[in-house]
Amino acid sequence: MKRLDAVLPPIWSRANPVDIAGDADATRYIAALEALLEDPQNDAILVMNVPTALASAEAAATSIAACAQAHRNSFIRPKPVFAVWVGSSDATTPIFEAAGIPSYATESDAVRGFMHLVRYREALDAVMATPPSLPQDFKPDVAAARGVVEHAVQRGRMWLNQIEVTRLLAAYFIPIAPAQLARNIDEAAVAARPILEQGLGVVAKILSPDIVHKSEVGGVRLNLTSERAVRDAVADILARARAVRPDARITGVTIHTMIVRPKARELIAGIADDPTFGPVIVFGRGGTAVEVIGDKALALPPLDLELAREQLSVTLAQMQEGRATMRNVEEARILENQKWIAFYDSQYTVEKAQWNVLRLTGNLLALVDRP
């Protein structure tokens, strides 16, 4: 400010834009531009001129070109300089072109030109960013996870059952409602007992390598609140599965804690190996209407926190329950989950994996198997 006060007349604007008065000659243009180029508080400079009878527009253009070139030769990353010479003649345009200064007919055009540079720099920074291969506090049990996958592959299976999924995701600290295997009614009652003693409900689901969609065979019972109810439900599940799919190999049932969160957000997250783009990560609103709502966003791994946040921001999942923004703790849990999924995808050749439903309440995020 002091430097501009010294070279500009007392009537100058003392604000942005810097009005150097209508009688400004080439010397005043140079003095003001030099001061602004050396000021670290700005990133680019737009110089404007409206022809008057008091000063030469061509001389001002020549001085701006010389000053900008001198600045460019003195710095590795010089500031961009733009020019708008209103009603510019054939004499001023070649001056700016020779100096490599973009010149525009209006200030709006110049601002758009500057924003192209801004977006270009942002794109370069994003491309050159190197996310860490692992968060500092993230130490997954890779050997245990690989063992689960290899066990299924060796047996010629194309997907993991609920027990294997629980072990796999636990190795990567992706929260999931735990599953316990029960091969018969008595084992189911034993597995459910600790859950019931805590006053919680129980979920029972059919377990078979030949039955992917459990609800289609009546293979799911929710919110069982007594051992008698568990026994009756498991007996019915096994009977229905054998009646509907007599060819299916029935391993037993899985016993889960009933997750009840009335105000939870239902989200979906997943990975897939696209034949054209390779691995992709999906995130959006989940639940039974996931295909109807279509609120999803795709991203390419690996994800760092910034890329995961960008993927989150382009979906409408945060608009649930009339709230325009998520609480910071909820967003942090989702971003953390997205990073884990991205890292998990980098460890295996995964054709497709889907986490639906992820239920989020405050800082509690849990994967709940959908029937």
d(CA 279, CA 240): 38
Residue tagged 């190795």 (tokens): 171
CATH number of this structure's domain 2-128: 3.40.50.261
**If you classify domain 181-258 with CATH, what class do you get?**
alpha beta
User: On the CB side of 34, how many CA atoms lie within 13 Å of its CA?
Assistant: 15
Domain ranges within the chain, ordered by starting residue: 2-128, 181-258, 265-367
Neighbours of 304 (CB within 10 A): 16
Looking at the chain, the whole-number percentage of residues with pLDDT higher than 70 is 72
**CA gap 184, 118 in Å, rounded:** 64
Q: From the CB of residue 104, how many other CB atoms can be counted at a distance below 10 Å?
A: 20
Instruction: Identify the segments of the chain with pLDDT beneath 50.
Output: 317-330, 332-333, 343-348, 357, 359-366, 371
Q: Which pLDDT value is given to residue 324?
A: 41
Q: What pLDDT digit, counting tens, does each position of 106-124 carry?
A: 889 998 998 998 899 888 8
> Is the distance from CB of 283 to CB of 296 less than 8 angstroms?
yes
Nearest to 80 by CA among 114, 110, 108: 114
In this structure, which CATH number among 3.40.50.720, 3.90.1300.10, 3.90.1170.40, 3.30.470.20 belongs to the domain 265-367? Answer: 3.30.470.20
**Is residue 357 within 8 Å of 287, Cβ to Cβ?**
yes
**Residues 275 and 351: beta-carbon distance below 8 Å:** no
**Site of tokens 């801004």:** 118
